[in-house]
Amino acid sequence: MNESVILIIDPRGMVLSNKSGAIARHVVYKNILSKFSSDQNYKLRIFSACKQFSDVSFGDLSFLERITNPTFNSLLFAFKSARRVKIERLNVKLLIVADPWESFWSAVFLRVLLNKRIPIQVQIHADLGNYKWKKANLKNRIRFELAKLSLGRADAIRTVGKTQTNLIIESFKLEEDKISILPIPLINHATAEINTGVRPRTIAFIGRIESDRGIWEFITLIKLIVNERRDFKLVIIGSGSEEQKFRAGLEEILPSSSIEYLGYLSSSEINDYWNQIGVLVSLAPTESYGLTLREAIIGGVPVWASKSSGVQDLKETVGNEVVNELDFSDSGQNIAEVFERIIAGKIKKEIRLSLIDSNQKYARNIVKNWVDLIGKQREKLP
């Protein structure tokens, strides 16, 4: 008997790269799906990519398969995926793709090769409709134009935030009824008691150390504060291609003894450091959702961020005292005073619990949306 599956197509290898805890998140989806669709008995399968099979410790993750190396070749990935589907006699009910580019066209080609009308849902995590995202670099400008070809052809689209969604609808002239706003669930958020006393005088940067994450703006901010005061330290968590330049820029401003470099840490490892962080700074020019921002607030750490779709949505949820928007047009003195105000503030327990409570529903909502899409497709059949 053929196994009925929801198939995630991932030629870029985003799942197997395990960024932001992707593997653990999909394990949660798999487990929820097995309970949620017990009558239909749908299974979750993922066809992903990585350079070496041994790069990832699979354990019992048999639902997650390496098909190729990460590739831009959608047709190649589709051919290899079709072969796997036929060998395993999978009855694919829904195709999920994580981007409107390589992944989407891999799914389209796969559908043709299987000669079956399978609905495709595109998941959009980037702030794709934001003009800042489009103008960031040439690659984004090309991808923006390519997305015009795919998003209108998708059967369904999943976004992660209200502001992000509004910008996507406006930029790509999409129908609202094909879009579902389903935020990304946090899998390993803080659960320990948080610091309720005086906040440490530390400023943290967490994430990829690359230009599109606002690293040079971070250095500018530190310069402005240092011109007014030096009684604080930095905590840098992350790694990236521009790490050495970033370090050099920081150490021109502060002595290395005032900067703690922790390298890449998983979400669960970062939880051990929230009580040592006074404020999390996030200056990425575009942010559709902000997983780390939410993890920080649950961990009791206020956020200081540049304006973005994700920051706007989060401010509406938790308030301006928890999420502080940075304005570089302010004087260095005013910015230093904002830092003092943030450090002196407290995050109410109710705010943390509200984020945790909302987060508990997100994974189930995503899985329910998948099952509902299959049901809608079944209704269309003659």
The tens digit of pLDDT for each residue in 105-139 reads: 999 999 999 999 999 999 999 999 999 999 989 99
**Cα 253 to chain center, whole Å?**
31
217 and 363 share one domain: no
- The percentage of residues in the chain with a pLDDT greater than 90, rounded to a whole number, is 76
Task: Indicate the range of 51-55, 185-189, 308-312 predicted with least confidence.
Answer: 51-55
Q: Which residues contact 86 (CB under 8 A, 6 or more apart)?
A: none
Residue 9: predicted pLDDT: 97
More confident residue, 86 or 38: 86
pLDDT confidence of 332, banded at 50, 70, 90?
confident
Residue 24: predicted pLDDT: 87
Q: Which residues contact 346 (CB under 8 A, 6 or more apart)?
A: 196
Q: Domain holding 350: CATH number?
A: 3.40.50.2000
260 and 164 share one domain: no
The tens digit of pLDDT for each residue in 158-185 reads: 999 999 999 999 999 999 999 999 999 9
256 and 336 share one domain: yes
For the chain, the domain total comes to 2
Q: Is residue 143 over pLDDT 90?
A: yes
User: Is 192 part of any domain?
Assistant: no
Residue 56: predicted pLDDT: 47
347 and 363 share one domain: no
User: Is 294 part of any domain?
Assistant: yes
175 and 286 share one domain: no
Domain span at 242: 202-356
160 and 71 share one domain: yes
For the chain, the average pLDDT equals 91
The tens digit of pLDDT for each residue in 268-325 reads: 889 889 999 999 999 999 999 999 999 999 999 999 999 999 999 999 999 888 999 9
93 and 126 share one domain: yes
The tens digit of pLDDT for each residue in 336-364 reads: 999 999 998 888 889 999 999 999 999 99
Helix orientation angle between 138-151 and 162-172, rounded to the nearest 10 degrees: 80
User: Is 114 part of any domain?
Assistant: yes
Distance, in Å, from the CA atom of 295 to the CA atom of 247, rounded to the nearest integer, reads: 25
User: Is 270 part of any domain?
Assistant: yes
Residue 195: predicted pLDDT: 62
Q: Is residue 221 over pLDDT 90?
A: yes
Instruction: Sort strands 43-49 and 64-68 into parallel, antiparallel or unpaired.
Output: parallel
User: Is 317 part of any domain?
Assistant: yes
Q: What is the pTM of this model?
A: 0.90
User: Is 195 part of any domain?
Assistant: no
The tens digit of pLDDT for each residue in 364-382 reads: 999 999 999 998 877 665 5
